[in-house]
Structure 1
Amino acid sequence: MSPVLVGCVLLLPLAGCVSKDKSDLEKYVEDVLARKGGQIQPLPPIKPYERYIYQSAEKGLRDPFQSFLNEEPKKETVEAPANESQKHFIDEMQTHNPEELESFELDSLRMVGILQNNDELWGIVKDNAGTVHRVQVGNYMGRNFGRITTIQEDKIELREIIKTPQGNYEERQATLALSEQ
């Protein structure tokens, strides 16, 4: 059976529903308009605003408007070098500008891909909140001053500066591999 014929058969019953006589509708509208309207209730009385000044902060209590979830972790303070071989680590830690991905642990970051534009290669990194970041060689990520040294199709290599139990600083290589998910 053709679709046109099926459509005609389905529309045929609707043709019987059409009436050109609208007198019943016009009569109903006239009846509704002729009705007397009801009385509108008065508004309830409005209570005056009473001002309240929050004074608990002066007493040393916590500010209820300050978020307790997004508190920034304190950065490790860098002490004066014990010897000259440690000076270049401390100089780097003190002089570089902190970047957004340094607020995340390296374990919570995932490499999800790369972008290439001519000779530039960018890594695509996703944090644990699901936000996607674009990084390149020289950017920092992780809490141990992890500086990106190379970006490859399947991994991002970093050089981290960690503090040893003896109080010295040393370099450690870290890798962020391409995530399969």
Structure 2
Amino acid sequence: MKMLTDSLLPLLLMLLLAGCGDSDVQEVRTWMKEVDAQTKVQVPPLAAPKTFIPFAYAHKDEQDPFNPNKLLAELAKLAAAGGVSGLRPDTERRKELLETYPLDTIQMVGTIEKKGVIYAVLQVDRAVHQVVVGQHLGQNFGRITRIDDTTVSLKEIVQDATGDWVERLSRLELQESKETTK
């Protein structure tokens, strides 16, 4: 058996080396050279880039239109002139207790009538307060204008985007009780 493997081994090696020959590869190489010589690649040329001409601001003596100080200066002029509307909150008066709370933290829980005067009953945290028309409420200089069974109407004085003081109407509505009766 050893003799059989000794004689077959060199024969197998010769067959393997014969498979690595250059039989059909030369034909493929010749064909590729012919196709490469006949094919002409045409790439269109790139367009020239546009030249950028920067804009020069020639009015150096005038105020720059993009300067943020320009807007501040105009707002200061309006404020010095009293604004467009002339409406301003009274900052000299002493603030009332309910003006220290934001309006969204105050709840209307009812109304009371005493001697012909209607009082709104308002709750802030766990404290209950009675208010009448004319009292101030909320942090935006709000003043109560009307009280009825279900709402407290008020006018607030707030600043708009340009810095002018404007009136805004707000109201508190009666909050339904969360307790259930049996």
TM-score, with length taken from structure 2: 0.51
What's 2:121 paired with? Answer: 124
Deviation at 1:163? 0.4
What's 2:161 paired with? Answer: 165
Structure 1, residues 109-154: CA drift from partner, whole Å, max 9, x if none? Answer: 0000111012211100001x21101100011111100100000000
Higher relative contact order (CA 8 A, sep 6+): 2
What's 1:100 paired with? Answer: 97
Deviation at 1:172? 0.5
Match for 1:143: what amino acid? Q
5+ unaligned residues in a row in structure 2: which ranges?
1-77, 178-182
What's 2:82 paired with? Answer: 83
What's 1:115 paired with? Answer: 112
SS for the counterpart of 1:93 is coil
Question: How many residues in Structure 1 have an aligned counterpart in Structure 2?
Answer: 100
- RMSD over aligned CA atoms reads 1.9
Deviation at 1:84? 6.3
User: Quick check: 2:142–2:156 contact (8 Å CA) kept in 1?
Assistant: yes
Please identify the structure whose Cα radius of gyration is greater: 2
- Separation in 2 of the partners of 1:179 and 1:150? 17
Deviation at 1:80? 5.2
Structure 1, residues 76-113: CA drift from partner, whole Å, max 9, x if none? Answer: xxx955336543x32x4224320001111100000001
User: Quick check: 2:84–2:164 contact (8 Å CA) kept in 1?
Assistant: no
5+ unaligned residues in a row in structure 1: which ranges?
1-78
Change (3 A) 1:146 1:99: same
